[in-house]
A and B are shown apart, each in its own frame.
Chain A
């Protein structure tokens, strides 16, 4: 049996990281923003059926960019984790932190052990309640790196530029319309085209809703919100 070529671990990690980054940067971007009533998630996504943003549990939402089949797998794993935990303990014991850690472990393991790393970044957001609990946003990279973000986060293709833009323009306690408009402007900051409501997938974690805080914003309402804020 011929010996496999020797590749240094540094080189191997570098190659994998580059491969994953390339895959992710080809995809469209996604931003999330805290606003007065909760957390807003905005993705550029022309499909109305294949979602990038979805509900995990009462106060927790998930978003993914990159390869659909890969983050879809992670999404379902997250729902399973949350539902089993909530069923065996109580609904209040399901937290974004535990879930983000699980994602971080999973992506880290895949990155080091599999030949092909996942070409995804995922985001876990948890809206705080009215009793002073803070909102949490976790951003997990393809290699398992985990960051907790404050107020806003961006991921996907041109996330660095978008993050810079949000840093300059983010304000506290925006209304939903203002936050949405800022989010859409952030998504177009690196491209010279305008996004209409048909190019967007938008959802919020609305602190004022009863138990399940996640709510998608349908296209018609989106058009109105974008129009009103302009």
Chain B
């Protein structure tokens, strides 16, 4: 007796987890614990296509900017690629509300761990943590609010970029070279299958990613293409040894325009 107080400290290995902290102390803030409406009773907003491509120095993540509710455009400028920490990012597809909340929770989770422990989780550890969070969302997913992210990052130990895809049960599958998620994912994947090459440079990988997104926008009504009128372009991020970086809108615009000009000229891809 009496040593129960200190003994419990050793059993509580979830001390560095933000999600466990919320569950313990503010359960009303944990997503997915309350009753979930069924998707048939309303039209949830959906994010459409995100993809990730491995290249020589790391990974690229890219997503279109459109969100749809049924046959309506809900937003033309939503952001689907989120920085989860310095060396990883998460791209969300599916029901936009729960997906964005999950991305925010995931980002806080990683930062919380880093601050409490004084070091980063391994990439493997981060991927597993995300998988557990997707499983938390399973009741909502069964009601139609499906969230299926892509997780990608730079693995410092292995010295290479890695990417993971998920299913609604939290199943985690590592892809070696590229993957896409969301309504236009099949078309994006087909495109990547033909265009992806080993040992691509950043510029090549950027072009390949945008080709795939343009193909997805071409075939899938939910996915938004480059919007030259409003000046809205896909958002693209790179994750390498030196961190998570944005690809500037100007550069994305230039590459998009080059692709479209090329397609106009040759008829390829039309």
- The answer to whether A and B come from one shared complex is yes
User: What is the interface of chain A, defined by CB distance below 8 A to chain B?
Assistant: 49, 51, 54-56, 76, 79-80, 83-84, 86-88, 212
A87 to B19, CA, bound (A): 11
> Quick check: B115 and A87 within 8 Å, CB to CB?
no
A80 CB contacts on chain B under 8 angstroms: 21, 25, 112
User: What is the interface of chain B, defined by CB distance below 8 A to chain A?
Assistant: 15, 18, 21-22, 25-26, 29, 104-105, 108, 111-112, 115-116, 118
B26 is contacted by which of A49, A51, A84 (Cβ under 8 Å)? A84
Q: Say whether, besides A54-B115, A79-B115, A87 and B105 are in contact (CB < 8 Å).
A: yes
> Quick check: B111 and A88 within 8 Å, CB to CB?
no
A79 to B112, CA, bound (A): 7
A33 to B16, CA, bound (A): 30
A51 CB contacts on chain B under 8 angstroms: 118
A55 to chain B, nearest CB (A): 5
Which B-chain residue is minimally distant from A80 (CB atoms)?
A: B21
B174 to chain A, nearest CB (A): 29
> Quick check: B29 and A88 within 8 Å, CB to CB?
yes
> Quick check: B104 and A87 within 8 Å, CB to CB?
yes
25 contacts between A and B (CB under 8 A): A51-B118, A54-B118, A55-B115, A56-B115, A76-B15, A79-B112, A79-B115, A79-B116, A80-B21, A80-B25, A83-B21, A83-B108, A83-B111, A83-B115, A84-B21, A84-B25, A84-B26, A84-B29, A86-B108, A87-B22, A87-B104, A87-B105, A87-B108, A88-B29, A212-B111
A84 CB contacts on chain B under 8 angstroms: 21-22, 25-26, 29
Q: Which of B18, B25, B104 has the most CB of A within 10 A?
A: B18
A79 to B117, CA, bound (A): 11
B25 CB contacts on chain A under 8 angstroms: 80, 84
Which A-chain residue is minimally distant from B15 (CB atoms)?
A: A76
A87 to B115, CA, bound (A): 15
A125 to B29, CA, bound (A): 28
Which B-chain residue is minimally distant from A88 (CB atoms)?
A: B29
A83 to B115, CA, bound (A): 10
A212 CB contacts on chain B under 8 angstroms: 111
A79 to B16, CA, bound (A): 10
Which B-chain residue is minimally distant from A82 (CB atoms)?
A: B115
A90 to chain B, nearest CB (A): 11
A87 CB contacts on chain B under 8 angstroms: 18, 22, 29, 104-105, 108
A86 to B22, CA, bound (A): 12
A178 to B45, CA, bound (A): 54
A89 to chain B, nearest CB (A): 11
B15 to chain A, nearest CB (A): 8
Q: Say whether, besides A51-B118, A54-B118, A83 and B29 are in contact (CB < 8 Å).
A: no
